[in-house]
Every structure is written in C-alpha cells, then in structure tokens.
Homo-oligomer: A and B are copies of this chain.
Amino acid sequence: MRWSSFYNTTSRIFHEYPSWSKSVVICTVISGGGVVAYADAKPAQSDNVGHNRKKKVVVLGTGWAGTSFVKNMKSSSYDIHVVSPRNYFAFTPLLPSVTCGTVEARSVVEPIRSISRKSGLDIQFSEAECYKIDPKNNKVYCRSGQDKKLGGPEEFSLDYDYLVIAMGARSNTFNTPGVQEHAHFLKEVEDAQRIRQTVINLFERASLPSLSEEEKRKLLSFVIVGGGPTGVEFAAELHDFVHEDLSILYPSLKDYVKITLLEAGDHILNMFDKRITEFAEEKFSRDGTDVRLGSMVVKVSANEISAKERSTGEVVSIPHGMVVWSTGIGPRPEILEFMKQLGQINRRAIVTDEWLRVEGCDNIYALGDCATINQRRVMEDIAVIFSKADKDNSRTLDIKEFQDVVGDIIERYPQVGIYLKKNQMKDMATLLNKSQESSLTVDIEYFKEALSKVDSQMKNLPATAQVASQQGIYLADCFNRMELCEKYPEGPLRFRGTGRHRFHPFRYKHFGQFAPLGGEQTAAQLPGDWISIGHSSQWLWYSVYTSKQVSWRTRALVVSDWTRRFIFGRDSSRI
C-alpha cells in the first residue's frame, strides 16, 4: 500500500515536471548497474518506475518493412530506436536500373533520419548491425559495422519493450560451390554499384591491346543465374546498356558480348502469367540473349560456370567475365540464430501469427523478408470454432448462431473467403447449404466436411517490397492505436481464447507486378488477371515507380535520371 502510494506520488510529480523524468530515469539506470547503452534506454524491467514512461520500441532494419513502419508511426507514446547497418532506405525495385546507370544509386536512396524526421517524432537511429536478440531479457546486441580505424566502442546493447524485426534476408546460394566467392548478388545498393563498375571494367579490359578473340569473348560473357523478375530485368538492362550505349563507345567489342540467362525451372518469370513468360522468352531470343531453361548451376569458378542441363543430364561449362546470382532468398545468420532460440527449426523465416507477432514472443514482431505468417488452419481449430458458434450448447448450429460468427470466421481464417470467392459462392451459408438443401442446422461432422477443403487456399506471401511495405504500414497503425484497441478491441473473436483480438489481422492487398523487359517495354500483371505488355506498360511502370518514391527528392532525382538517360544515354565512366 505504501509502495503504491509512493508510485502515485512519483508519477504525479513526473507529470507535473516532465523534465525530471529523464534525470530520474538516468539515476535509476545508473544505480541499476546494468549495461545501459545510453541515458534514454530504460530497461523494460523497470516498468514500474513511472506509469507515463514511454514504451521503448527497437526497430531492426531500414528496408521496406522497417522504413514503412517508421514512416507511418504517429503516436508519441513510444521511444523509437532504429538500428540498421545502412543509414538509408533504398528503393530496391530500381536496383537493376542502377546496375547500368539508367538511374543513379543516389537517386534511389533516402537517409532514414530524414524520413523519420518528417514524422515529427523523436526517432533515434544507430548505424549498426544487430548480431543477437535476447528475447528473455528484452535486449538486442548490436555492433557497429564501420571501419575500425574510427575508434570508439563497437558494440552496444539496447533494451526494448517492443521489438520490430525487419532485417530482410540474404541471397540464397543453395550452397552451390564458388557462388559466394565469384558471383555478384543484387540485393544492396553496393551490389548494384559493383556490378556497374565490373561491366565497365570488363569492357575496358577487353579493349586492351593484344587480347585474343577467345579472351575477349570470355571477358564479355555475362551470365545471369535465376529467371525471376530481378534476373530478367537485369539481363534486359544489361542488353540495353550494351546495345544503346557501350556499342557506340566500344564499337569493336559489340560482337563479342554474350548475355546468358540460366533458369533451373521450365520458364523464366514463372510467377507471372503464361502470356508474359512467352513474350519475355521471345523478346530475349530476338535480342540475342541466350535463355537456357532447365539449367541447374552446380559450380562457379573465377572464369567458368558449370550448369547441369536437366533434359540431357549433361554438365555444360560456360566461360564468363561476370556472374550475377539472383535465385531467391534465404535467412540471415542472425535470424537463423534467433529462430533456433525460439525452436523454429527448419523454417525459412521467422514464423509469426496473422498479427505479425513472432510465435512465442508477446512483444516481438517480425515483418518483411525475414518473416513468414503462419496462417492458422481452419481444420486445426474446427472444434473450437464450432463450440464458440454453438452458443446454446445444442451441438448443432442454427442459422442465427451461424450468422453471428461468420464474419469473424472469415476474418480470422481468410482462406475461407478466398475459397468462397474461387468457387463463386455468395457467402458461407451457401457453402454449408450446398450439400444439404433443406435445413441450415449443421452438426460438427457436417461442419468439418464442408470446411475441409478451405485450407488448401492458404499460401505464403511473396517476398516482395509490396508485402513488406504493407506490413510496415499495418504494424505502425496497430502501434498508433494500441491503447485505443486495448480498450476497444476491433479484431475478430478469439476462437481459442476469450474476447476479441485487439486488431484486425494483417491482410495483403496485391496491386500487381511489373517485369521490365528492356527496350522500353514492360510486362505488367495487374489484379484481376489483367495483362499488359509493351510500351504503354513501360509508361505505367514509370508513373507507378515515380509515385511510390519515398520522398520528393528521390522522386525528382529518378525522373531527372530517366530524362538524362533519354537525352544523353548512360554514363560509362568507371567510378
């Protein structure tokens, strides 16, 4: 009793003299003796010091997910600390354009400090890599990845009340020997810059005197592994760069250039509609880009790449000057380590619930490429769903009971909605009614059977900027309305527990996808199976990518880069 009255007094004082708050917290922290990174870092355990203490949110990563989270934070009830090895956000869909100088690297990046400053909140940033997450003690351990010469301490730890993991993923080499050493990736801005330099290097090297034909051919053999959107776009950009710009400056080398695209599957762009795939394959073959389907790379060396042809089983070796590896993503080592701690073994990313909360951790969220949503199966919960709906415990559901929960079911288990839509059913009553026309009273067995197929509609979200960005916005919105929604939960019924979920679960909205194919042509697959290929979609691409820029600065720069390219071509200075 005495303690609680002490706290009341203290908190009232803090309320009246907010500037005290900080110093008192500092004292607490110092006397606590823990490793505390800086004055503002209040350990979560000391929650009871003041009731109006801001909750500490640590955000790991400044990619699409992390940045859209930070950008959309509006509530001032959090102390937000962002940690990332990059002090900027990069508009990654333009990276293939950066590789050839269609767009400059600096036009696609925006400092995270300038993004967070616009939010009006006091958001802190540290340029460092998080190398360990300790969910038991609500701590992350970070290391500044910078030049050691600069001196100063390199490691520090941060306490958090909420942790938002948005660290992305790394390129997946599938343990193919030699890839890490000899191939270029295309995930970071630095990768794109390196590729640009290497292309020019190769052209310069190939134009040195006294080079044999064979050596020139080897140097100018560019091999791209992976026929996904990134690989395809890079191949197209490279082809344009060579044929529109470099062939003018290096006229004698034009005929030595060869671009090869290796794809292990049956087709390139296989996540797109068949029409797009066909168009792309035909365009590439007209352009002279050698697309080899069913080619599984088995080894990369400094001068050669070996691929096994699925049709013949033969291993073919291609001499190369540069290999760009773009075959998909895998988890980062720190993420793997964290997953191990959580017991999430054999998963490709951190598993979260539909609210992006890491399974098993109440105060940790994961989003973007480092996370995957573990959608709950209807069949797993079928018994609790039924009993929750069966309010009168009659062991059958009548129409009234059913209609009370149908909205919640569809919200909690979105696969139900997708299933209905796919089978052109108006509502769930139709699904249940279909097989039993007369009565709408169903028992659990019947209920189970009717819903038995809906789980087949579940699928993982793609690892795209679009998904990550929507997740960031969603989570920021949840954080902004945390207090409100705790009082007035807006989510669906908790079928396993009691009451309602605080928030609506995350729902991804697909706005379509582009695949630039070079020569001012782009393929676009928009919702509703709307396909558009050609110059008109190139203009759609330009306008969408312009509007999606994170700031007016990058917007102006990207547009001026495109204009510059139209007028003057791409620059080939080796800087």
Give A residues with C-beta under 8 Å from B. 36-38, 41, 86-88, 101, 104-106, 109-111, 113-114, 117, 125-128, 144, 146-147, 149-153, 156, 158, 189-190, 193, 200-202, 204-211, 215, 218-219, 248-250, 302-303, 321, 552-553, 556-557, 560, 564, 567-568, 571-575
Contact = CB atoms under 8 A, between A and B. Distances in A.
B113 A250 contact: yes
B202 A117 contact: no
Nearest to A88: B573
B87 A210 contact: no
Contacts of A209: 37-38, 41, 126, 156, 158
A334 B87 CA distance: 41
A553 B568 contact: yes
Contacts of A564: 553, 556-557, 560
Contacts of A151: 215, 218-219, 302-303
Contact of A109 (B126, B553, B556, B571): B571
Contact of A111 (B38, B113, B210, B571): B571
B553 A190 contact: no
A109 to B, nearest CB: 4
A249 B190 contact: no
Contacts of A201: 146-147, 150
A168 to B, nearest CB: 17
Given A114-B249, A560-B560, A564-B556, A128 B208 contact: yes
Contacts of A117: 248-249
B87 A200 contact: yes
Contacts of A249: 111, 113-114, 117
Q: In the assembly, how many copies of this chain are there?
A: 2
A302 B147 CA distance: 12
Nearest to A158: B209
B150 A321 contact: yes
B152 A87 contact: no
Contact of A105 (B125, B556, B575): B575
B219 A573 contact: no
A87 B573 contact: yes
A274 to B, nearest CB: 39
Given A104-B106, A150-B202, A150-B321, A574 B207 contact: no
Most chain B CB within a 10 A radius of its CB, from A105, A110, A219, A568? A568
A219 B147 CA distance: 12
Contacts of A153: 208, 210-211, 215
Most chain B CB within a 10 A radius of its CB, from A38, A193, A205, A573? A573
A200 B553 CA distance: 19
A512 to B, nearest CB: 29
Most chain B CB within a 10 A radius of its CB, from A106, A193, A208, A302? A208
A250 B206 CA distance: 46
A219 to B, nearest CB: 6
Contacts of A36: 210
Contacts of A574: 86-88, 127
A127 B573 contact: no
Contacts of A215: 151-153
Task: Return the 4 tightest CB-CB contacts between A and B, nearest first.
Answer: A88-B573, A38-B209, A37-B209, A127-B204
A189 B126 CA distance: 29
Nearest to A101: B106
Contacts of A114: 249, 572
B106 A571 contact: yes
B152 A573 contact: no
Nearest to A127: B204
Contact of A37 (B150, B210, B575): B210
A154 to B, nearest CB: 9
Nearest to A216: B152
B302 A149 contact: yes
A204 B567 CA distance: 37
Nearest to A218: B151
Contacts of A125: 207
